[in-house]
Amino acid sequence: MKYKRILLKLSGEALMGDRQYGIDPERLAEYAQDIKTIINEGVEVAIVIGGGNIFRGVAGASKGMDRVQGDHMGMLATVINGLALQSALEDADIPTRLQTAIKINEVAEPFIRRKAMRHLEKGRVVIFGGGTGNPYFTTDSAAVLRAIEIEADVILKGTRVDGIYNKDPEKDDNATKFNFISFDDVLRKGLKVMDTTAFTLSQENKLPIIVFDMNKKGNLLKVVSGEKIGTEVNL
């Protein structure tokens, strides 16, 4: 395996499957099986999930809701998604721990870096919920922050698109895919990989990002094995 320890970033929308809202148990089960394939190869896996399938703080704020309240609601949505993924992973016989940036002791452990790293070393999947615990920060920022803290080798951003394009491939048939692109080129071309705060944090810490299609069975194993799947963003 090319990577020993990874941080897998999933969007909340990815959990919807073909639904318009909420969580698709079949999609969760598919993800759990894909994750199991790399666990069986000895890869240490941490996961951050968004909450957009349930609630998005920015959207609430745009309709007049207090932004801080909205972001806290979004953090709770990520915990719900984390619990759902934890259940799916444990159904696949994968030992799992859910740690949250906001204290919900009856539901999950609080985030403690050393404890998270110990879980990973013991072969447990660690799911980080609650974002960074602060409003005005996205789950992209949480993913990069946690990846740096646990000393992950790479951030794998699982999406429904098979990489980074110069235009939206779902809207423009002439869009061109990048197999590799530098951090500087992403910024220069104005491409949307992650929000600027998260992306800059990743660049400053020399932490590569690979964007790939998580919905294609077997892709996760291919990426971790070092196959050229998706788009790699690096120095």
Report pLDDT for 56: 76
Q: Which residues touch 197 (CB under 8 Å, ≥6 apart)?
A: 137, 138, 140, 141
Taking all residues of the chain, what is their mean pLDDT, rounded to a whole number? 94
Quote the Cα angle for 50-56-57, to 5°: 115
Percent of the chain with pLDDT over 90: 86
Question: What would the mean pLDDT of 140-149 be, rounded to a whole number?
Answer: 98
pLDDT tens, residue by residue, 58-95: 777 778 889 999 999 999 999 999 999 999 999 999 99
The sign of the torsion formed by the CA atoms of 26, 224, 51, 74 equals positive
Work out the pLDDT band at 210, boundaries 50, 70, 90.
Answer: very high
Could you tell me the residue ranges of all domains in the chain? Answer: 5-234
Alpha carbon 177 to chain centroid, angstroms: 21
* pTM for the full predicted model: 0.94
Give pLDDT, residue 73: 94
Question: What does the alpha-carbon distance between residue 205 and residue 154 come to, in Å, rounded to a whole number?
Answer: 11
What's the pLDDT tens digit per position in 160-198?
889 999 988 888 888 999 999 999 999 999 998 999 999
d(CA 196, CA 177): 21
Q: Which CATH class is domain 5-234?
A: alpha beta
What's at 36, amino acid-wise?
K
Binned at pLDDT 50, 70 and 90, residue 229 comes out as very high
Q: For the residues of 51-117, what is the DSSP string, one character each?
A: -TTT--HHHHHHTT--HHHHHHHHHHHHHHHHHHHHHHHHHTT--EEEEESS--TTTSEEP-HHHHH
Q: For residue range 107-128, list pLDDT tens digits in order.
A: 999 999 999 999 999 999 999 9
* Rounded (10°) angle between helices 67-91 and 25-39: 60
- Residues ≥6 apart with Cβ < 8 Å to 85: 10, 15, 28, 31, 32, 47, 49, 127
How far is the C-alpha of 231 from the C-alpha of 90, rounded, in Å? 30
Segment 41-58, tens digit of pLDDT: 999 999 999 999 998 777
pLDDT at residue 48, rounded to an integer: 98
What pLDDT does 189 receive?
92
